[in-house]
Structure 1
Amino acid sequence: MPLTLFCNDTEAADVRALGDAALTIETEATADRLAAFDVVIKSPGISPYRPEAVAARESGTVFIGGTALWFAGRPDARAVCVTGTKGKSTTTALLAHLLRAGGHRTALCGNIGMPLLELLDGDAELWAIELSSYQTRDVAASGIRPEVAVVTNVFPEHLDWHGSEQRYVEDKLALLADAKPRVAVLNANDPRLSALSLPDSDVRWFGRADGWHMRGDALHRGDDFILDTRDVPVPGRHNRGNLCAVLTAVDALGFDGAALASHAASFRPLPHRLQTLGTRDGITYVNDSISTTPHASLAALDVFRDRRVALLAGGHDRGLDWSAFAEAMKTHAPVAIVTMGQNGPRIHDLLAPLSRTAGFVLSSAADMAEAIAHARDALAGEGVVLLSPGAPSFGPYRDYTWRGRHFAELAGFDPAAISGIPGLGIA
């Protein structure tokens, strides 16, 4: 069957080198060209709300993604779909880790770094699948109900792709409202989630007293104490909430979460997520490059609330509102904030009136090297340089991993040693 591939010029050169006579390559995906096809298989990063895609869809073209193809091809898969604005990667990886510790052959895949279509013929008992907001509608499009869906939280992100905050929330929650999972595992402390009505799903809540929840560092299921989480190698109270989500999903699959909970202590944290790189000359460097919203930056600061911190903030401007971040700085500011990137000036202007009254040093930097230099100067040999930019990396970096690697290199650490995600695939 002939196939047409739309791609950029660089990708076109690579594909032409394959010498496939059945493959036609085009670099201009206009509305007229897209409308000439009955079906367009879209990569996740391409927004279906682009004008040319909307026009083609109005002409009858159907747009689907690889996630929909995988679910349609694997209707009997025991799948746990995990999404959320933040925490979904750690939650998915921790779920796979605990299921494997329980003796279950489990796939760790999806948005975390192993595309589903690469495992179309994979042999797994259980599937731990991370989904971004770009992919959640695909599950419903496949017509297959996942066994379990987990949503960690919902707050604004990717507004440039979705077009508005309302559409982002609708797309994210399509995993629940449209895909209708058998069990929905939801965060009771998230206001958007707690307001949902899901009559087609068995809703299991985490973060409240009758389910999996935290009391300080103590993990409980209902009234039963399960374990002290201080030995679990994931930083921050938000990650303890992710553990509660995972154990709720384990129970939803019909296994005993309490019996597997202790294996969380052997989990290997994921790179670029509050990743401590090491200490140089009295200063500790922490790579939280995955942080792409102001909310994530606040969560990172909370982890180090008892340390002297210089925060590196800013990157690609998606138009997110930083006012809640600024409000928090009135009472919970670090020693210093260094702004950088496309939205750096906007963040700097918002924070400038607060810097004197709240008592933090505010500076701006042209690039990562200058930002680190400012942070070091502000800390004067003691504290934490925290890269938690609250914004995507586009511009000088291809993605957040490249940004994190560059930060590590500039801080004096080996960038090749910090980026591998353990456990991808089936094991």
Structure 2
Amino acid sequence: MELSGKHVTVAGLGVSGVSAARVLAGLGAHVTVVDGGDGERQRETAAALGGEGITVRLGDGDTLPEGTDLIVTSPGWKPTSPLFAAAADVGIEVWGDVELAWRLRGTARSASVEGGGGRRAGVSAARSASVEGGGGRRAGAAPWLAVTGTNGKTTTVQMLASILKAAGLRTAAVGNIGVSVLDAVLGEEEYDVLAVELSSYQLHWAPSVRAHSAAVLNIAPDHLDWHGSMAAYAADKGRIYEGNTVACVYNTADPATEELVRAADVEEGCRAIGFTLGTPAPSQLGVVEGILVDRAFVEDRYKNAQELAEVTDVQPPAPHNIANALAAAALARAYGVEPRAVRDGLRAFRPDAHRIERVATVDGVDYVDDSKATNTHAAEASLAAYEHIVWIAGGLAKGATFDELVAKSAKRLRGVVLIGADRALIAEALRRHAPEVPVVDLERTDTEAMTAVVDAAAALAQPGDTVLLAPACASMDMFANYGKRGDAFAAAVRALHNNR
């Protein structure tokens, strides 16, 4: 679609909506932003956009502006929104900001992917053979190595970017990770390849995206209120494989991810590549005697394997983080990155805060902040990393149930401290599946309650145990976000350490 002169409605006045509105206006579109809010922040933003010639309509996000040719939506807007129903009735397309970025990629630059300097150090001939994937692309449109999944997306994309940088490639970790894809593809900096995190929301509104290679890390119930069903949620995740040219990377421990590969319409020659924490079969990456190995991107994969890195090169070396590293390595190898760069990139990588982050050891007890574990699937992976645990859990359940999580983790639990609005749901699961485990139920919901939480956990713990904040719930009942929750935990642990 030629955007100049078109009337485009942008749904949402958040960060992605404002960015999309400005890009569209810069391309000559007539832009109207709609938002159901009408608070001080929205009014300030509306005033700024108005000064740039962009119309903003506050307090009504449901009515389709007259003359609209296209809608560009922020990721969080539900597909059932009246605005989209009205658009469907008259045949108007809805794009997300990722779809917009994909369609605009390469329009701001003319340099080729090689950047005029030939192939980068550490990238094999396989990369130059596979990068076009048979479909070609416009000059300056860096290929995408894309990652989605219920959990582990951000860590995997950051690992992938670290590996690509170790190979001497110009890259960035973008998408649902802080730097928008739109900013990356239209910015001044030229990239060889992008490591792209995509959420199920973003994928729902991005039907045209065609990645060089992509991975689905895992599929577990999440955001079902937005998608409407587990099947719809999984289908949106599976969109990431559509049109892949080189590799569809899946998790052998999660059959749903392989089923998504089987259902995808990919380019001829695109391969299914599995990753496993066990010994890999041909066309898989896995672990053998503490070594990450590749039996996919090697000559005669039925007889040979390539060492990539040691398990100890991955920090922290928890099982689910090793799985993240294998997925990142698979995507990098699909792009032609040499083994040494995989090792160097993994060694250089350190995860963001609040992801299995050891805060301190007090009286022989480790205190670990995994506040990012905001759903049961993430909490299960975190709990599996430790042998004896005092578990801090609770918050907003978002419709989740906890029986399976508690049943799988019961043998590891020394004790449990429950917090937050929906803690009773976890307490009931503990009574059913771990009745012998001592539970402290804290009714306080103020932000200062974390000191009492840590004190209660310390009283339950024994030397050699791990006190683990892996709440399996969202944080917004007590804290602004999971980061604030993790910060409060870390502060309380440091206070405990200083008082001993």
Query: TM class by shorter-chain length?
Result: 0.7 to 0.9
User: Which of 1 and 2 has higher RCO (CA within 8 Å, sep 6+)?
Assistant: 1
Runs of 4+ in 1 over 6 A off after TM superposition: none
- 171, 192, 197: which one aligns with 2:256: 192
Whether 1:74 aligns to 2:155 is no
Greater shift in the superposed pair: 371-380 or 156-165: 371-380
Pick closer, same or farther for the CA change 1:375–1:26 going to 2, 3 Å.
farther
SS of equivalent residue, structure 1 residue 205 = strand
Opposite residue 29 of structure 1, the aligned amino acid is D
> 2:175 aligned with 1:110, yes or no?
yes
Aligned length: 405
CA distance in 2, matches of 1:105, 1:117: 17
The correspondence for 2:234, drawn from 160, 169, 172, is 169
The answer as to 2:164 corresponding to 1:133 is no
How many angstroms does 1:296 deviate by? 1.4
**What is the aligned partner in structure 2 of residue 419 from structure 1?**
none
Percent same amino acid among aligned pairs?
28
Alignment-mate amino acid for residue 200 of structure 1 = V
Is the alpha carbon distance of 1:50 and 1:392 closer, same or farther for their aligned partners in structure 2, counting shifts above 3 Å? farther
- 2:281 is aligned with 1:209: yes
Separation in 2 of the partners of 1:272 and 1:49? 33
How has the CA–CA distance of structure 1 residues 341 and 35 changed in structure 2, closer, same or farther, with 3 Å as cutoff? Answer: farther
Cα contact 1:214–1:241 (8 A) shared by 2: no
How far did 1:217 drift? 2.2
In 2: Cα distance, 1:80 partner to 1:274 partner: 25
Q: CA deviation at 1:218?
A: 2.1
Among 492, 496, 499, the alignment partner of 1:410 is 492
Whether the 8 Å CA contact 1:34–1:56 is kept in 2: the answer is: no
Closer, same or farther in 2 for the Cα pair 1:30/1:137, shift >3 Å?
closer
The offset of 1:19, in angstroms, is: 6.9
Q: 1:156 to 1:240 in 2, by over 3 A?
A: same
Name structure 1 gaps, 5 residues minimum: 414-427
Question: Aligned residue for 1:248?
Answer: 330
* Structure 1 residue 123 corresponds to structure 2 residue 190: yes
Q: Following the alignment from structure 2 to structure 1, what is the Cα–Cα distance between the partners of residues 93 and 313?
A: 49
* TM-score, scaled relative to structure 2: 0.75
User: CA-to-partner distance for each residue in 1:6-29, whole Å, 9 max, x for gaps?
Assistant: 253142133145273433333333
Paired with 1:328 and 1:35, the residues of 2 have a C-alpha distance of 54
Q: After TM superposition, list the pairs within 5 Å mapping 1:259-298 onto structure 2.
A: 260-298=342-380
Which of 381, 406, 421 is residue 342 of structure 1 equivalent to? 421
Relative to 1, partners in 2 of residues 1:34 and 1:47: Cα closer, same or farther, differing over 3 Å?
Answer: farther
Which residue among 95, 100, 106 is the counterpart of 1:64? 95
Shift of 1:172: 1.0
> How big is the shift at 1:136?
1.6
Q: How does 1:4-23 map to 2 (within 5 A)?
A: 4-6=33-35, 8=37, 9-18=39-48, 20-21=50-51, 22-23=53-54
- Do 2:285 and 2:330's aligned partners in 1 also have CA atoms closer than 8 Å? yes
Task: Look up the equivalent residue of 1:123 and give its one-letter code.
Answer: E
Contact 2:246–2:334 (8 Å) recurs in 1 = no
Instruction: Tell me how far apart the structure 2 counterparts of residues 373 and 388 of structure 1 sit (CA, whole Å).
Output: 17
2:361 matches 1:361: no
Structure 2 counterpart of 1:158, from 223, 242, 257? 223
| Inter-CA distance 58–236: structure 2 relative to 1 (3 Å threshold) | farther
In structure 2, the gaps of 5 or more residues are 1-29, 107-140, 296-303, 496-500
Moved more, 243-252 or 189-198: 189-198
RMSD of aligned Cα (Å): 2.5
Letter paired with 2:76? G
Amino acid at match of 2:88: R
Preserved contact between residue 94 and residue 205 of structure 2 (Cα < 8 Å): no
Q: Does 1:317 find its partner at 2:397? A: yes
The 2-side partners of 1:181 and 1:47 are apart by 30
After TM superposition, give the deviation of residue 234 of structure 1 in Å.
2.7
* Structure of higher CA gyration radius: 2
Contact 1:31 1:56 in 2 (8 A): no
1:67 Cα deviation from its structure 2 partner: 0.7
Question: What SS class does the counterpart of residue 149 from structure 1 fall into?
Answer: strand
- Output one character per residue of 1:220-279: Cα deviation in whole Å (capped at 9) or x when no partner: 223536243123223311111222212211221123245532441221222211111223
**AA matched with 1:260:** V
Question: What's the CA shift string for 1:17-70, capped at 9, x where partnerless?
Answer: 527343333333343346773333221222223455435433444322111111
